[in-house]
Amino acid sequence: MQNSPRLERIVEECYKLAFDLDFSYARRWKGEDSSRVLVGYMPVYFPREIVHAAGGLAVGILGAGDKKQVIKGDAYYQSYICRLPRGVIELLLDGNFEAFDGFIFPSICDVIRNLSGMFKILGGGKFIKYLDLPQNFVPEIGGRFYEKELWSILKLIQGINGMEPSPEKLKESINLYNRNRRLIEDIYDLRQEFPWRLSEEHLYYVLRAGLVIPVEKHNRILEEVYSCLQEDIGEMMDNIRVIVIGAFCEQPPVGLIKTIEMSGCYIVDDDFLAGLRWIDGDIESNTENPLQAIADGYISRSRLSSTVYSLKSWKGERLVQLARKRNADGVIFCAPSFCDPSLLDQPMLQAACDEAGLRYISFQYSENTGQFKVIKEQVGAFSDSIKLWEGVPIC
Ligand code: SF4
């Protein structure tokens, strides 16, 4: 087995960035120029391009995970909702967001809506914006509505640093984020062929680091990772190939990702950090109206997530298509406990898997789950049943 010391170094750096609850890198970045602003955004997706063009850094906030004991945050919420908002409140009360100038709360579920209200009561940053994502996907209706929402965010940033981004600046930012998404997809495509060259755990660190650093730095990291993956590294195992779906908001603990891998699975696609891959393809940058192009990207190129309301049942079709594209043996439905969007979509997605003859299992987690024995047994049995019995005729 051949190792790549260069890749190991990058993964280690990304791990430190990804789980730094003090957001040290972003704070240092802001400190280098008095016109820079930090804008925190909650899951799942936010068009970071607009903050970049306005001289800011959009920082993804995913909660405290299993890296911080949550005590005060628990007092703000009932027991029967997911855990993400408790960790976020704990971070707010402990001053971890002190350098942040504003916060964006995309309208993905009631929990995030309530969290924006908590921030208003407790006070955080210079603005708190509840971003009403369009539910109408006609460009002239939902698209124009969304464009106005994005304008209002630019105005809030302008109120802090006085910067109004020119169309050229917006186009430049669009190109950088287009490049970011393309690099990420290239890595997924390469892993599809050689999943043993980069474990899902390490890929997760590399991607998650991108939430807290400027896109220019993240693009350089992704380029280097892609270059390392050209080498014949790692060792092929007799694993099945799975897609993990449903974990797009509150993040699973890293131990859970490792457990799935150690139980005989290559994770060949996932929606852990769905916001980074939200737009399918490029946003148009050769345009007179870049803000409209960003809005149209959301309207016509969103990868379907459970947080997007859809009357049609094509989310199931998209999952089956993805499984076929990735040559997956099965699907693992992995949802945060009490997550309405994820759990409500599950029966529909499972029906699509049934129809397509795709095997699946499901379980729930919370960001601080610490016991993985049961999950290991379940995933291990799933992997073995596919390896040993797939294709064997039933007499
Ligand atoms: S984990 Fe689910 S319920 Fe909780 S904030 Fe995220 S989308 Fe909402």
pLDDT digit string, tens, across residues 121-138 = 998 899 999 999 998 999
Q: What span, in angstroms and rounded, lies between the C-alpha atoms of 205 and 186?
A: 17
Q: Is the pLDDT of residue 389 over 90?
A: no
Distance 111 CA to ligand 1 centre (A): 6
> Could you read off the pLDDT of 220-267 as tens digits, one per residue?
999 999 999 999 999 999 999 999 999 999 999 999 999 999 999 999
Any atom of ligand 1 within 6 Å of the Cβ of 250: yes
Q: How would residue 1 be classed by pLDDT, with cut points 50, 70 and 90?
A: low
Q: For residue 355, what are the CA distances in angstroms to 114, 316, 343?
A: 37, 10, 19
DSSP conformation class of 282: P
Any atom of ligand 1 within 6 Å of the Cβ of 84: yes
Q: Which atom of ligand 1 is nearest to the CA of 82?
A: 4
Question: If DSSP states are collapsed to H, E and C, what string results for 294-329?
Answer: HHHHHHHHECCCCCCCCCCCHHHHHHHHHHHHCCCC
**For residue 44, is the peptide bond before it cis, meaning its omega torsion is within 30 degrees of 0?**
yes
Q: Which atom of ligand 1 is nearest to the CA of 110?
A: 8
Q: How many CA atoms lie within 13 A of 203 on its CB side?
A: 31
Q: Is the pLDDT of residue 158 over 90?
A: yes
Q: What span, in angstroms and rounded, lies between the C-alpha atoms of 129 and 103?
A: 6
Q: How would residue 392 be classed by pLDDT, with cut points 50, 70 and 90?
A: low
Q: What span, in angstroms and rounded, lies between the C-alpha atoms of 140 and 9?
A: 47
Q: Considering the entire predicted model, what is its pTM?
A: 0.96
Q: What span, in angstroms and rounded, lies between the C-alpha atoms of 152 and 352?
A: 39
- For residue 347, with 0-12 CB atoms within 10 Å meaning exposed, 13-18 middle and 19 or more buried, which class applies? exposed
Q: Report pLDDT for 303.
A: 87
